[in-house]
Amino acid sequence: MMVIPDNIKAIIVNRLRGNISPEERKALEDWQCQQSVGDEELAEYDKVWEESGNLLSQPHFDIAKAWQCVDQQLKEARVDENAGGRVVRIRRYWRGAAAAAAIILVAAGSWLFFHQTGRQQVTLTKVTADATNKYFRLPDSSLVLLRKGATITYSAAFGHSDRLLTLSGDAFFDVAPYEKIPFRIQTERAVIKVLGTSFVVNNSVNTDRVVVVTGKIMFTDKIKPENKCIVSAKEEISITGHTLEKKNVSDSNYLAWQTGILRFTNTPLKVVVKELSSYYGKTIKLNDTLKTGSVTLTASFGKQPLKEVLEEIAVITGLQYRHQEDSVTIY
Amino acid sequence: MREDGLYKQFRLGFEKFYNPLCMYANSFVKERSICEDIVQEVFVRIWETRKDLVQSDSLRFYLFTAVRNNCLTHLSREQRMTVYSLSEIDLEDDDTADITPPVDETLNYQALLGLGIEQLPPKCKEVFLLSRMGELSNQQVADSLGISVKTVNNQLWKALKMLRTFVRNTSMGLLFFL
């Protein structure tokens, strides 16, 4: 194959960019004569250049919608500044499709919020998952999965003037993207604001906790609103009293109750059996040598029966297992 | 300058560069919605902290560089970045690196080209996209990526050659089947 000298390459590139100098044009022609390179070959490069330009300039993204987002965000920022408060730079993220997932552990009994507004009677819709996990759609077409025992409450205005709801218990949300009306979840201690995303919510006695799987949310202390924090993917935040604590997510299987997927990455075996036990509701033990050993597991299980999971672990680790009455021991 | 006039100009810039910037981001980050987030955030930040850029000639350069950096930050956060160093580019022209075309593709030239661009080696692809989409000069591409102009030229050339070969081979492969 013919070797093209660097200076000629540079000239051809300049020619494509349309800024070839007369000297360069001369040099190129000389070289063409010398090497008997026809114009056709150059024309092929022209075509590649030209057509790739056309290809790449085709609109693949919704510019108008994007501008609305940016415009809106800048307006909000301006309002914040004019309000005179301390300007906190908040990075907001929008999502075209489902994106954020979060688990929020919420203390119970906080749907009184709607009555605190002091207005007249507000019609409330209350949904409770009594016996099993329960799927349903909110008026804005956001999807909710309530874990057994959880309750969600929202007013008739939901989806019109606001998208605010109150939650106690655990739930998973797949929020319909609708930038103009932010989606907010109210818990006893905090307000979680999301824009078109999905996330999960659970419950404990004195701590609210949010785990963001993908995307972003803003977490605000209800009593002290200056206490707030942006939480990104793979981070979690908890509030106890008025103390916010943000850290990286350590437990990768917090979503298992919803997704049915358990995933382990170099996870020590004793952690694995703990998570399997709680997921399958069956005691799984290690024999004494393994308890102190350094065996780790990397695997992912999706909605498989426990038997299959155990088989797979046996294959991966070379260990064995046996059933004993109502427990399983790996050895 | 009136804020309003400047804001209009800002909007024009947004409309002009939004699509190419998203596509550039999309060459690093697979999820389109995240690409859009990144690009939008870059614009928001420009308006909030660097209004002076709106009217400046270096807006284009700044935008593409900022989007690139934000994409890389995102990827390193997501920990699935295949790290490659642009400074380690071999300056040798590698003739053996032709890309293998798949057979059952449409004859449409642009579609072929799109496929070819997808398959360019990462560093080569980036130089090509920046030059073609950002319409940045070789010097600007070099500055943006922290490599030499000579390297930009070589990579650009390599991209052109590979694309030409790709389109040719694929078309011929198809003709053979027809």
Q: Write out pLDDT tens, residues B161-171.
A: 888 888 777 66
Q: Which pLDDT tens digits describe chain A residue by residue (331 residues)?
A: 567 788 888 888 888 888 788 888 888 888 888 887 778 888 888 888 888 887 777 777 888 888 988 888 887 766 655 544 333 333 333 333 333 344 443 333 333 333 333 344 457 788 887 777 777 788 887 777 777 778 888 888 888 878 888 888 777 777 776 767 788 888 777 888 875 455 555 545 566 777 776 667 788 888 888 888 888 777 778 777 788 888 777 665 665 655 667 878 778 888 888 888 877 878 888 888 787 767 788 878 877 888 888 888 887 778 888 888 788 888 8
Residues of chain A within CATH 3.55.50.30 domain(s) are 255-330
Fold of A255-330: Phage tail protein beta-alpha-beta fold (3.55.50)
CA distance B85 to chain A (A): 22
* Residue whose token pair is 């008739």: A156
User: Model pTM?
Assistant: 0.46
Are B36 and A94 in contact (CB < 8 Å)? yes
Whole-number pLDDT of residue B14 = 92
A66 touches B: beta carbon within 8 Å? yes
Q: Tokens 């659970």 belong to which residue?
A: A202
Delimiting residues of CATH 2.60.120.1440 domain(s) in chain A: 124-248
Contacts of A213 in chain B (CB under 8 A): none
How far apart are the CA of A214 and the nearest CA of chain B, in angstroms? 10
Residue B26 binned pLDDT confidence (cut-offs 50, 70, 90): confident
- Asked if B40's CB is within 8 angstroms of A9's CB, the reply is no
Structure tokens at A192: 């979680």
* Pairing of β A283-286 and β A327-330: parallel
Q: How far apart are CA A197 and CA A76, in angstroms?
A: 20
Q: Which residues lie across from A220 on neighbouring strands?
A: A191, A228
Closest of A205, A244, A203 to residue A223, by C-alpha: A244
Region of residue A325 (left: phi > 0; alpha: psi -120 to 50; beta: else): left
Is A48–B34 a contact, with Cβ atoms under 8 angstroms apart?
no
Q: Do B18 and A57 touch (CB under 8 A)?
A: no
Interchain CB distance below 8 Å, B113 and A52:
yes
Range A124-248: architecture per CATH: Sandwich (2.60)
Angstroms from A323 CA to nearest CA on chain B = 39
CA–CA min distance B153, chain A (Å): 6
The Cα–Cα gap between A194 and A211 comes to: 13
Residue B25 burial (CB count, 10 A): 25
Task: Tell which wins on pLDDT, B62 or A253.
Answer: B62
Residues 6 or more apart in contact with residue A199 via CB below 8 angstroms:
A100, A101, A102, A103, A104, A172, A173, A175, A192, A210, A212, A213, A215, A217
A233 chain-B contacts, CB cut-off 8 A: 77-78
Q: What is the ipTM of this complex?
A: 0.72
